Amino acid sequence: MKVYAVIGGWNYEGESFDSMRLFDCYSTAEKYQNQLTNDEGFDYALLKIREVCMESAIRWENDILVAA
């Protein structure tokens, strides 16, 4: 599954993972990127396309829910 990852950062300090969010819509990700630099006070914001794997850590076996 393709997602858009957005994270804000400061020059000389790096990225802040507290600001990181994942989006499935490019326009929403772009708006958040602008919000980080214009409203949240970050020096820059990165927007990158990433692949994520959506798998469950639990599964059913013989009508019993088990952890992987």
> Along the 68 residues of the chain, how does pLDDT read in single tens digits?
899 999 999 999 999 999 999 999 999 999 999 999 999 999 999 999 999 887 766 777 777 767 66
Task: Sort 23 into a burial class: Cβ within 10 Å, 0-12 / 13-18 / 19+.
Answer: middle
Q: Supply the range of the domain harboring residue 36.
A: 2-67
Q: What is the model's pLDDT at position 46?
A: 97
Is the pTM above the cut of 0.85?
Answer: no
Q: Name the domain count of the chain.
A: 1
Q: What is the model's pLDDT at position 45?
A: 97
Q: What is the model's pLDDT at position 54?
A: 74
Tokens of 42: 């970050």
Please report, as a single letter, which amino acid is at residue 45.
Answer: A
Q: What is the model's pLDDT at position 61?
A: 76
Give me the residues paired with residue 48 across strands: 5
Establish how many alpha carbons lie within 13 A of residue 7's alpha carbon, considering only the half-sphere containing its beta carbon. 12
